[in-house]
Amino acid sequence: MHYKFVLMASSVLLLSACGGSGTDDTPTINGNKIPILSIANIENDITKNQTIQLAATASDKDGTITSVIWEQTAGLKVLDEPISANTVTINLPPALSYAPREYAFNVTATDNEGATNVKTVSFVARNSMDEFTAARLLHQGSMGPKLSEIRKAQGLSEQQWLESQIALPIEYHRGYLVKSQGEDEFRYINRIDGWWKATLRSDDQLRQRVAFALSEILVVSDANSGLSSQPEGMVNYYDLLLKNAFGNYRELLEDVTLSPIMGTYLSHLGNEKADDALNIRPDENYAREVMQLFTIGLEELNQDGTAKLDAQGNTIATYGQSQIEGFARVFTGWTFAGSETFKRKSRDYIKPMEAFSEYHSSKQKTLLNDEVIPEGYGPEESLQIALDNLFNHANVAPFITKQLIQRLITSNPTPQYIERVANVFNDNGNGVRGDLAAVIKAIYLDDEARHFGSVLSYQGKLKEPLLKTVQFWRNLDAKSLEGYYRTWNMFDNYGQGPMRSSSVFNFFRPDYQPAQLRDDELVAPELQIAGDATLIGTMNEHFADLVWSAAEGHNDLNSSGLYVYIKNDMNTLKKEGINTLLDEYNVLYFAGSMSTDTRQALLDLDAYFDDDQYRERVSYLLYMIAISPEFNLQY
């Protein structure tokens, strides 16, 4: 908390103005000049949790000032009663929510004749994040924060940081896609290399994190599929998620639906109308998954994400076979853009798909909520109507926002949290539905995410294995001399990789509940990929990265090997000692949640080494942090 003196520049000006001119325009009442009152300027950027002073200067041309009284007229009470003083000291309370707080005061000067002059002073106090709250927000809102990013965010409000992130230009991944030397074509591994570069280097970290979350909801994958030979198309799909991350969900849904990558993955590309003679009917794959996974889910939901029940206490299915068949008809007639004919395909995996009417089913199409597209509608019209029908279903808000909250903030959001965000999905305040920027802000600024009020004992989520490595690599400048990030074995090391799920159901399901959490009725989706083999794989990867691959430990670097650079941490250790380094790690890796027991364990770990074994000391500290339960929780 720091003390702030408020300047009184304006009153000086006022006085000199009065003295300098011959005329006196001070209002009079019954021949008595009212008091002259001025209030010192206050800073235009005031933060909560500090003490400020408000100062008034009063004088009277034809008498004396008998009182100056301050009285609060708006905002959380900081002046219990009117105070008689020229200067009042105000303790602005700490933040209890993200929202800026408005204050207003009246100051009244009275002269010896009883005449008064009243002025109003008002200001807004915003939050100012300390290092721990900034670190926590950035753990939630980036791919893995760097210390420099946390330091930059310190002192900003949560809202300011989010808005500044949302305003940043988009770092598309296609700019990072480069061919391997001597290769004519892009390969799968070039896409992975590009993902690492964009993830490690980009400044628009919030967008990158939201797009990564979307890639686990609107799933496509080139694992075990022909799409592994379409890295450009795959990158373009990821870029589509980046583009729409703060856009509108309706547009995102349309871009996803018409993506030739999605069309290939869920087989609606090349899907054609029925041929009754050959017992051929439209492919139902996309029709089913766009409902089950991308928009509404299987069961009707309340706005707070809980299942609606019928009179018998059973859940209510959102759709049946007639809707599947209706939507399957909608998604007929579409193929690669620029194709000569429906069958002579262009194989353009970048541009949105285009339709051939003659392959589109013009039959009647049953949609949700008893809506029907009558016979005779063409592919484009049908698609618009059908996507509007999906997008406007009441399930979309709770179904999608709950999953976003789970991917970004906490595995077990309260129904109230889901409902607050779902309400924003339905209406951003300006009557717009599906505004993702508003939804994302609502997710991050919610009391439950920000720990305002009482914090739930099960708040937070386990970090995704891949993102743990991302944070170390971002901070430790991981790179190879050749400049490539060719991580072939992501599945063994992490149980996941970007757009590498083994099915459209993602690496883990939102309702995955390990036996240990049954009694508490909690879910932990990320634990679905924490099988023994993967846990050992991740642990081995951390050890290899942080202990074996510290560049400082090698005289000759292998030109294709990936190394981390721990020089900065070694210097901190050397110059400022172990406690300073652990303080820094507590901010950077634990967002302030390093317990005294963990700290002591790290000190004891460190004590094994000789003082000047700086490299080994840093490596082992980082490795132990990487596997520690406290680091593994995004709290």
Find the binding residues for other proteins in span 270-309 (CB under 8 A): 270-272, 275, 278-285, 288, 292, 298
The reply on whether position 534 binds other proteins by CB under 8 A is: yes
Scan for tokens 């937070």, then name that residue.
Answer: 460
Are the C-beta atoms of 366 and 324 separated by less than 8 Å?
Answer: no
User: 8 near 55, Cβ under 8 Å?
Assistant: yes
Q: Which C-beta is closer to other proteins: that of 401 or that of 598?
A: 598
The span of 9-17, 87-95, 123-131, 526-534 binding other proteins (CB under 8 A) equals 526-534
Q: CA-CA distance, 12 to 40, in Å (whole number)?
A: 9
- Cβ of 201: how many Cβ atoms within 10 Å? 10
Residue 524 binds to other proteins (criterion: CB under 8 A): yes
Contact (Cβ atoms closer than 8 angstroms) between residue 590 and residue 554: no
* Residues of this chain, 582-621, that bind other proteins according to CB under 8 A: 595, 597-598, 601-602, 604-605, 608, 620
- Binding-site string for other proteins from residue 451 to residue 470, where x marks contact by CB under 8 A and - marks none: ------xx-xxx--------
- CB 512, min distance to other proteins, A: 8
Distance of CA 615 to the CA centre of its chain: 34
Q: Which of 81, 184, 310, 521 binds other proteins (CB under 8 A)?
A: 521
**Nearer Cβ to other proteins (470/523):** 523
Collapse the DSSP code of 141 into the 3-class scheme (helix H, G, I; strand E, B; otherwise coil) and give the result.
helix
* Touching other proteins, residues 98-137 (CB under 8 A): none
What's the Rg (C-alpha) of the chain?
31
Q: Please, what is the minimum distance in Å from the beta carbon of residue 425 to other proteins?
A: 24
Are 587 and 534 in contact by the 8 Å Cβ rule? The answer is: no
Cβ contact 530:468 at 8 Å: no
Distances (CA, A) of 162 to 414, 438, 442, 511: 23, 11, 11, 28
Nearer to other proteins, 231 or 270 (CB): 270
Instruction: Pick the closer one to other proteins by CB: 108 or 366.
Output: 366
C-beta of 37: minimal distance to other proteins in Å?
56
Phi, psi angle pair for 333, to nearest 5°:
95, 0
527 binds other proteins (CB under 8 A): yes
Tally Cβ neighbours within 10 Å of residue 543.
Answer: 16
Strands 479-480 and 562-563: antiparallel
**Binding to other proteins by residue 630, rule CB under 8 A?**
yes
Find the shortest distance in angstroms from Cβ 501 to other proteins.
Answer: 10
Q: How many residues contact other proteins, by CB under 8 A?
A: 80
Q: Does 411 bind other proteins (CB under 8 A)?
A: yes
- Residue with smaller CB distance to other proteins, 18 or 223: 223
Give 315's DSSP letter: B
Question: What is the smallest separation between the CB atom of 283 and other proteins, expressed in angstroms?
Answer: 4
Give 47's contacts (C-beta < 8 A, 6+ positions apart). 92, 125, 126, 127, 128, 155, 157
Subset of 48-67 contacting other proteins (CB under 8 A): none
**320-339 residues near other proteins, rule: CB under 8 A:** 321, 324
2, 77, 344, 518: which one contacts other proteins (CB under 8 A)? 518
Based on the shown chain and the rule CB under 8 A, indicate whether residue 495 belongs to the binding site for other proteins.
Answer: yes
- C-alpha to C-alpha distances, 402 to 61, 121, 206, 418, 423, nearest whole angstrom: 66, 42, 18, 6, 12
Contact, 190 vs 177, CB < 8 A?
yes
Among 44-52, 179-187, 200-208, 499-507, the segment contacting other proteins (CB under 8 A): 499-507
Nearer to other proteins, 411 or 471 (CB): 411
Tell me how far apart the alpha carbons of residues 531 and 537 are, in angstroms, rounded to a whole number.
10
> Least distance (Å) from other proteins to the CB of residue 274?
9
Least distance in angstroms from the C-beta of 455 to other proteins: 11
Question: Smallest gap, in angstroms, from Cβ of residue 369 to other proteins?
Answer: 20
Residue 629 burial class via C-beta count within 10 angstroms: exposed 0-12, middle 13-18, buried 19 and up? exposed
Q: Per-residue contact track with other proteins, 207 to 236, x per CB under 8 A?
A: -----------------x------------
Tell whether residue 489 is a contact of other proteins (CB under 8 A).
no
3-state SS of 77-120 is CCCCCCEECCEEEEEECCCCCCCCEEEEEEEEEEECCCCEEEEE
